[in-house]
A and B are shown apart, each in its own frame.
Chain A
């Protein structure tokens, strides 16, 4: 592996096994996708994958029989309202200047704003809050500013909120459409008619959004906990209810509905809310909620076997961890000579068993943390290799111009790691493009 060769030569310790395995797969992927037309290293600059847009085909040369000249000519822009003639360089082929409009004129798009006559206004569009002048001005602004209501709101002489402006504009449009249509059926499919602008909903939506935005971290955590807890409780209760006989008490029914009603009402976008914070919440808080809801659901059963109760609690403890960790916990229990399921499951034994499992989880967690911290220290050096997927490590010594480049990343790392040496350490990704400086050698 090229990386280890480099390190050998430079006299550095080899990387731990896991890192080499990681790096092996990456260069293999890179090597068989080299494009034509640009050099390998330049291609690697773009991230080593195919570009989103087709790149310029540099191999394609203009045919030899063409005579290309560049002339300074004037041009007109159809997007302009005046007849201003500007000048620019034009590629003239065989003395024939190019035809057609200015190439950027097609980007001058604008929104089609309906225009109403005074008569139409009198008949359909009057409104207690809006005067004709205001409405006219609104429409003029809409035309000028391409329906950018934020800008319109800013420049409107009378101060009105964005929602009010939108409301007025869309209601006028709807009224106009209805008035001008031959029959109501014609316009029924127009997007404006099918989904009319609802000002109260819009206001509510924006208020909710700003609430979500302005939530503190703490609030997010609380919300996620509570939502997870409520979901578990309703799920557990649903399961318990299914196991019950048909005579469910009215209390529980009402409770269940209320539970559904309370939770979504609390924040308008609960799903988006819980998506992000769910990852941010520490596993320990989620597990506490799991225990609580498991205990609650056990109580709802009114009777259960001790072994079943222990199983549920163990499941709750393991819910936040992966299968591998669960297996390690079980292995640890066996190593300690403890039965995975207690042979004499008394209350005390089960409590102790659960506590032991929790402690083992803590232990494994700490072990992982320690491992991570230790490898983090040594991976600072490896980080430059691991973080640079484009480094053709096995080619470092083959291509001469970059032989110095191999040295550079190492040196950079040494600088970075010394305490207080360099305040502005560039990230590994930027090492490559840096030009060789005399000071580096």
Chain B
């Protein structure tokens, strides 16, 4: 029994423990093997673009909007995503809209802002589980100070950046995508022997897939980590400096426990 218990000092230890408990999910039922401690991640942007219809607007159709999931640098997400389902407000006909091919976008006309639930399905060789996201549709333009007048030419764009992370990815998956521009892989060891690449469920390569030429692409926002990273690094440096200062102070206080009483007038 003693051998069952190990000291937990890192995430690795917990994986060891999982194996001790009998779970080795490195191999799934189909005998596919996973690469441990490697992460495949896909930078995506989830967003919406809405155009005010102006003169052509009716009471219930004031805006034409498109909600989408795109690669952060407009690469083809069809390499990992098989299907995206957009769950619209129940007031829409057939509120469950399924998109089976890239670009994973959906256009509609409406008047209201609401939260759109998005379910993403991946190719079987990538991941068997689905991923849930959500996005709030924005129709009314505003800036930092409040609402601004609507314009027909300039759409309202709401986008948020995220990354889809596949921990311990399948070897066949990595083999298939490791050179694709949409895919990032971290911690990949050198000289890894990969098996023959898996096959995506649907293969839309370069047909409708290339979103770089998408009509809405001029409006897409650019996301860069530089500014945020800069702030974070600066913050960390400051905090580390403060920590060092406090540690020095603590050492000083410990050195004289009665230091504060030396000023008392009583001597016995």
Residues in chain A within 8 A of chain B (CB atoms): 11-12, 222-223, 225-226, 229-230, 233, 244, 249, 251-252, 254-255, 258-259, 262, 265-266, 288-289, 291-293, 295-296, 298-307, 309, 332-333, 336-339, 342-349, 352-353, 355-356, 359-360, 362-363, 366-367, 369-370, 373-374, 377-378, 380-381, 410-411, 414-415, 417-419, 421
- Given the interface contacts A11-B265, A225-B8, A255-B22, does A348 sit within 8 Å of B225 by beta carbon? yes
B:5-45 near A, CB below 8 Å: 5-11, 13-15, 17-18, 20-25, 28-29, 39, 41, 43
Give the chain A neighbours of B250 by CB distance below 8 A.
366, 369-370, 373
A329 to chain B, nearest CB (A): 11
Interface pair A266/B240, CB less than 8 Å apart: no
Interface pair B231/A337, CB less than 8 Å apart: yes
- By size class, the interface of chain B is 35 or more
Interface on chain B toward A: helix, strand, loop, or mixed SS? mixed
Interface on chain A toward B: helix, strand, loop, or mixed SS? helix
Give the chain A neighbours of B168 by CB distance below 8 A.
299, 302
Residues in chain B within 8 A of chain A (CB atoms): 1, 4-11, 13-15, 17-18, 20-25, 28-29, 39, 41, 43, 122, 127-129, 131, 133, 161-168, 184, 186, 223-225, 227-229, 231-236, 238-240, 242-243, 246-247, 249-250, 253-254, 257-261, 264-268
Give Cα A250 to B166, complex, Å: 22
A47 to chain B, nearest CB (A): 30
Question: Which residue of the partner chain, among A12, A302, A360, contacts B127 with CB atoms under 8 Å?
Answer: A302
Give Cα A346 to B45, complex, Å: 12
Interface pair B129/A377, CB less than 8 Å apart: no
Interface pair B246/A306, CB less than 8 Å apart: no
Give the chain B neighbours of A304 by CB distance below 8 A.
131, 164-165, 167
Tally inter-chain residue pairs, CB-CB below 8 A.
199
Interface pair A359/B165, CB less than 8 Å apart: no
A122 to chain B, nearest CB (A): 47
Interface pair A370/B249, CB less than 8 Å apart: yes
- Given the interface contacts A369-B250, A377-B258, does A345 sit within 8 Å of B129 by beta carbon? no
B222 to chain A, nearest CB (A): 10
Question: Which residue of the partner chain, among A258, A291, A377, contacts B21 with CB atoms under 8 Å?
Answer: A258
Interface pair A360/B239, CB less than 8 Å apart: yes
Interface pair B162/A381, CB less than 8 Å apart: no
- Given the interface contacts A355-B236, A359-B243, does A419 sit within 8 Å of B127 by beta carbon? no
Interface pair A344/B224, CB less than 8 Å apart: yes
B59 to chain A, nearest CB (A): 36
A11 to chain B, nearest CB (A): 7
Question: Which residue of the partner chain, among A296, A301, A332, contacts B18 with CB atoms under 8 Å?
Answer: A296
Cβ contacts A to B, 23 pairs, < 8 Å? A226-B5, A233-B17, A249-B25, A262-B4, A262-B20, A262-B21, A265-B1, A288-B8, A298-B167, A299-B15, A300-B25, A301-B167, A302-B168, A305-B164, A337-B231, A347-B163, A349-B228, A352-B233, A356-B236, A359-B240, A363-B246, A366-B247, A367-B246
